[in-house]
Amino acid sequence: MELRDLSLPSLNQFASDYLNGKLEVEDYFHYKLTGEGMYQNRYQELMTRTFKRAEIAAYIEQYMERFSESKQVELNIEALRTPDSVVVIGGQQAGLLSGPLYTIHKVISIIKLAEEQEKQLGKRVIPVFWIAGEDHDLAEVNHVYTMKNGKPVKSAYPFYHPFKTMVTDLELDTEKTMQWIEDVVESYGETDFTKKLLATVRGILQESKDFVEFFASLIHEWFHEYGLLLLDAGDPRLRKLEAEYFSELIQHSDEITESVLSQQAFMQKEGYKRMIELEETSANLFYYTPKNKERILLERKDDLFSSKNGDIRFTISELLEMAEKEPERLSNNVVTRPIMQEKLFPVLAFISGPGEIAYWAELKRAFEIFSMKMPPIVPRLNITVVERGIQTDLSETGLDIETVLTQGTGKAVTEFMNSVKNDDIESLFRQMKSTLGENHEKLTEKAVADDKGLEPLLIKNRQFLDKQLNFIYGKITESTEKKHEVALSKYSRIANALYPNESPQERIWNVFYYLNQYGPCFISDTMKLVYQFNNQHKVIYL
């Protein structure tokens, strides 16, 4: 493997301005990424605060007992108990087969930044991955992409669920899931690694009862040797540790909403679109109904908290009692989750995706309600993997990777087709179409003047003739494409590999393609590379 840096624009305008130093950072964040001694300053601030270190370490230890033993994980759990340790943290939904590649890139980012800062600070810096098990968006986690008829298409796990249930509560049917996985891996083609890969996955799946457990087991399998700690945000046992913090969120819910709306208004004046959908009545907490295992977003009016339709209602005293005695009935939304995370962990840095950068900026004033500073928001590593065959295609087509990763191959294909078209045929076709149009228009004018009733028929006839001409032209184009299908297939392979569906590779493809193609060492080899957090796009050449 070889790693190279590329300078590419961010897909998100706010993130781009943040990374390029175009913001007055103090208006949006508490730390400037380029600020001298940023991590040292953050570390010193964390040392002035207290955390439930023993309790959170005990929870993670209990949660991770289900996975294979790992000495490094054990050491990091012990380190979390010590008063001078800090964490680098990030999170993601529990996608089947780990979801899109950017989930893996986020994990790599968490581990690598923790390793880097442990050396820089001379203190224990622990990588923590926050699994968003409380999320209820099934459509986000129930699929991967596979190739079908030369295009990437969604391959969804055959599962229907009508309620807004937390992903951590969604059980998996082992045999149905395994059949789906086999179909996915079969689409990649059989290799020397396929049988062992499927056997490993089957073993993990048989020990996993739900989406989150399957996801967590895979992540642990790949990254346990780096001491990555895992937790499930939808776990009722974690809720017990969050109880007093839920009480604070309830008591300050009006202020939280007001602070976010105020920050959003400021950002909109600065030309940025708001990321978090929020109303003045938003309570920023979900109520969890045990009967349907459904999350219901609460609204607040004065001291009354209720569902949107009003069928669920709590006074503030009732909700505070719930937070104390039954905290598993509550869960966070996009506004309160970062605050809860900050309450639970000594966060040296938060690893974010491009969209997360923008919505965290909307939370600055909310953090200040609790006399806390938002942690440094560090963009995750953006990575594109380039296989050897794709390198060859790039060389033979003359395409540079920067162009492909920002524009795709559409323009290059158009230019290529224009270069191989028969100019005489093109000229004759345009001339024929123009002449036919002019003559048909004259005929229509004369005929309609003689009989107005002929007009609909003549219009239909013109459309028919145009359709026939376009049909013939299409067949001529198909013939040209057939003659040059070898060259066109190279453009297609490049697009599907590096910019599928006109999206970054990491948003579409799944790591199992590479594990099937290159074996389990794909993860470890990727981890051996030396990454710099310099806001450059990373290209890994295989």
Centroid of chain to Cα 391: 26
In 307-424 the beta strands, taken as DSSP E runs, fall at 313-315, 330-332, 347-352, 377-379, 383-386
Please check whether residue 350 is in contact with residue 87, taking contact to mean a CB–CB distance below 8 angstroms: no
Strand locations in 16-158 (E): 86-92, 125-131, 143-148, 151-156
35 pLDDT more than 80: no
- Geometric angle at alpha carbon 144, from 384 and 217, rounded to 5°: 90
Q: Which percentage of the chain shows pLDDT scores above 70?
A: 100
Does pLDDT of 382 surpass 80? yes
Q: Which two tokens stand for residue 173?
A: 């049917």
The verdict on domain 1-23+38-405+504-542 having CATH code 1.10.260.40 is no
Q: Tell me which residue has tokens 């939370």.
A: 363
pTM of the model: 0.91
Span 44-71, average pLDDT = 96
- The C-alpha atoms of residue 325 and residue 240 are separated, in whole angstroms, by 9
- Which helix H or strand E contains 201, and what residues bound it? helix 194-206
As a whole number of angstroms, the distance between CA 363 and CA 48 comes to: 22
Find how far residue 267's CA is from the centre of its chain: 23
Structure token digits, residue 13: 């305008």
> What is the Cα–Cα distance from 103 to 98, expressed in whole angstroms?
7
Answer for the pair 495, 404: CB distance below 8 angstroms, yes or no: yes
The number of CA neighbours under 13 Å toward the Cβ of 315 is 3
Cβ count within 10 A of residue 379: 19
The whole-chain average pLDDT of the chain stands at: 93
| End-to-end CA, the chain | 5
Query: What pLDDT shows up at residue 63?
Result: 96
Confidence category of residue 421, pLDDT binned at 50, 70, 90: confident
Domain range annotation of the chain: 1-23+38-405+504-542, 409-498
Give the pLDDT of residue 390: 97
